[in-house]
Amino acid sequence: MRLTVINNIFCVGRNYALHAKELNNDIPGSPMFFSKPTHSAVETNGQAITLPGDSGSVHYEAEWVIHIGRTYTPGMQIGELANGMALGIDFTLRDVQSELKKKGYPWLAAKGFLNSAVLTPFIPFTGIEVCRQTDFSLLINGNEVQRGNISQMLFDPQALIDYCGTHYGLGKNDILFTGTPAGVGKVTNGDQFTLKWGSDVLGEFTAMLKSSK
């Protein structure tokens, strides 16, 4: 399924315990949602993807992404709601984010910049049980840097869609980044990214750090 239209991009922070710990964050009592502008989305096709090169460190966060196929109503199961899945990178300006956190400012500048929501092409969603049997991983320059499994989430996919659907709404062509496992780190100019679902490569690209001036 090629990406045509995205209505909303929802993301969840701190949804894997080891990742919350590596950034010295508390584990939240309820899912911590934020959103990105749709302009931040870009689909991988082996291309070079430009990221900010003059705003401090850019971190990669590999994540499992759900595509929503219809309007959420309470009681709906994820299998009825989701019609696709992909892997994505929630690129984050980590130094900017630390400053925003200190000031209590919104995260837009750290999480919502152009190309900050990288997505592989979507594949059919075959059910949560099948997905629990498959690890996703991120390789940079051929070395595995992150590996996760959706069964390790603090708030599982059903809890995420229930929370999001109830508080913010979920509808056709919304997507949901479900949080990153441990192993996030800094991007270096020219890094080659490979996102894998089990042994299948879903997407590849090269990161280009570029000054905005």
Binding residues for Zn ion (CB under 5 A): 61, 90, 180
- Minimum CB separation of residue 18 from Zn ion in Å reads 14
Query: How far apart are CB 125 and Zn ion at their closest, in Å?
Result: 20
Nearer to Zn ion, 25 or 73 (CB): 25
**Cα–Cα dist 53/30, whole Å:** 34
Residue 7 contacts residue 171 (beta carbons within 8 Å): yes
Contact 83, 68 (CB under 8 A): yes
Give the whole-angstrom CA distance, residue 30 versus residue 15.
10
Residue nearest to Zn ion (CB): 90
Provide the 3-class DSSP secondary structure of residue 161.
Answer: helix
Question: CB-wise, 44 or 180, nearer to Zn ion?
Answer: 180
Give dist(CA 57, CA 45) in Å, integer: 24
Instruction: Report residue 136: phi and psi, to 5°.
Output: -110, 155
Kindly tell me which of 95 and 172 has the beta carbon lying closer to Zn ion: 95
Q: Which is nearer to Zn ion, 147 or 172 (CB)?
A: 147
Least distance in Å: CB of 111 to Zn ion?
8
Query: Which value, in Å, is the radius of gyration of the alpha carbons in the chain?
Result: 16
Q: Which is nearer to Zn ion, 71 or 168 (CB)?
A: 168
Among 106, 62, 105, 114, smallest CA distance to 86 is for: 62
Residue 106 CB, shortest distance to Zn ion, in Å, is: 15
Question: How many angstroms separate the CA atoms of 87 and 191, rounded?
Answer: 18
Q: How far is the CB of 213 from Zn ion (least distance, A)?
A: 27
